[in-house]
Amino acid sequence: SQTIHQWPATLVQPVGSPLSLECTVEGTSNPNLYWYRQAAGRGLQLLFYSVGIGQISSEVPQNLSASRPQDRQFILSSKKLLLSDSGFYLCAWSVGPGATEAFFGQGTRLTVV
């Protein structure tokens, strides 16, 4: 069966520090991968998605970047965190192409102080 791992679960970082959140998927090949950010009362905002290694699409301009160095690995990064980067970050995967459901990791609570 397929599983998705996302870490760390919680993270407190100072303003201006770098960020690296990692997500890996097991049990499937060539998944579509996603990074979402969730703010209270505002649903989920899609940040990045990837349909293959090295293929990243950015949905919104921001202080973050994403990379996919391997088929089942998706990394969310920042060189210098801002206070506004605080939030709950979720990684997800789906079988593509097509409008199929996505399966989510357990999320990372990021607090920038």
The site for another protein (CB under 8 A) is made up of 6, 34, 41-44, 46, 49, 88, 90, 92, 94, 96-107, 109
Q: With respect to another protein, which residue has the nearer C-beta, 34 or 85?
A: 34
- Sorted by sequence, the CB contacts under 8 Å of residue 19 that are 6+ apart come out as 11, 13, 64, 76, 77, 78, 81, 85, 110
CA-closest candidate to residue 28, choices 106, 102, 79: 102
Instruction: Please report how close the Cβ of residue 45 comes to another protein at its closest, in angstroms.
Output: 8
- Using the minimum distance from each CB to another protein, give the nearer residue, 14 or 41: 41
CB of 48 to another protein, least distance (A): 11
How distant, in Å, are the alpha carbons of 18, 52, 88 from that of 42?
Answer: 25, 29, 12
Residue number, 53 or 88, with CB nearest to another protein:
88
